[in-house]
Amino acid sequence: MAFRGKGKSKFKREKPEFDQQIVDLARVTRVTKGGKQLSFRALVVIGDRKGRVGYGVDKGKDVQIAVEKAVNQAKKSMITIPLFKETVPHRTEGKYKAGKVMIKPAPMGSGIIAGGAVRVVLELGGVPNASAKIMGKTGNKMNNVKATFVALQSFKVKAKPKKEVKKIEEKKEVEVKKVDNEKKVVVKEEIKK
């Protein structure tokens, strides 16, 4: 038996960049000439809880392999959620196949009022206050997640005003040089940005 000390471990695990949550895990089979081939399909949502969120769907022979592949796919499909006064900017709807989702702003302190897959996406996206409803007639989590992403991508946000561009100032300096008892005027131009 190994001795376990009461002291702290020398090795600290680094916190991963993104939090992840498995939304849906399904056993799928493919019927071939040789018989049925069993595999697993994973739907994973990842986010940093600071406005970035992504989802991935992939299959693998084992649950762990399917989840790892789905996480890698989710990292490639990251989007940024625009926030306005700690909530979403305005009411929006997203539709993907039979999944239909409505997301609207909520007052400060109300939290996330949503259910199912939409709640997971908003939580991992770092939205502090929002109200959402699944309007479609399907309970398919994959379609509801995709409809949520369609809704999140449809936000119309005005660009922040850029800093005022300083006008180019022209400054002229006059130098007087004496050359062989003759005065010559030389004009220098400096442009400041």
What is the token pair recorded at 43?
A: 């739907």
Residue 168 has pLDDT above 60, yes or no: no
Q: H-helix or E-strand containing 120? A: helix 116-125
CB 90 within 8 A of CB 156: yes
Give the rounded percent of residues in the chain with a pLDDT score beyond 70.
75
Q: What is the pTM of this model?
A: 0.73
| Phi, psi dihedral angles at 170 (to 5 degrees) | -105, 130
Once rounded to an integer, what is the mean pLDDT over residues 112-135? 92
pLDDT score of 84: 87
- Please list, in sequence order, all residues whose beta carbon lies within 8 angstroms of the beta carbon of residue 10, skipping any fewer than 6 positions away: none
Residue 170 has pLDDT above 50, yes or no: no
Q: What is the distance between the alpha carbons of residues 29 and 35, in angstroms, rounded to a whole number? A: 10
Which one is predicted more confidently, 185 or 28?
Answer: 28
Assign 154 to helix, strand or coil: coil
Q: Which CATH number fits the domain 19-153, given the four candidates 3.30.200.20, 3.40.190.10, 3.30.230.10, 3.40.50.150?
A: 3.30.230.10
Q: What is the distance between the alpha carbons of residues 146 and 169, in angstroms, rounded to a whole number? A: 52
Q: Which of 179, 116, 166 is CA-nearest to residue 143?
A: 116
What is the token pair recorded at 44?
A: 């994973």
Q: Is residue 123 very low, low, confident or very high in pLDDT (cuts 50, 70, 90)?
A: very high
Q: Is residue 17 very low, low, confident or very high in pLDDT (cuts 50, 70, 90)?
A: confident
Once rounded to an integer, what is the mean pLDDT over residues 30-56? 93
Can you list the alpha helix ranges (DSSP code H) found in 79-170? 116-125, 141-153
pLDDT score of 83: 87
Residue linked to tokens 């001795």: 3
How many residues make up the chain in this entry?
193
Residue 119 has pLDDT above 80, yes or no: yes
Residue extents of the structural domains in the chain = 19-153
Once rounded to an integer, what is the mean pLDDT over residues 124-135? 92
Residue 180 has pLDDT above 60, yes or no: no
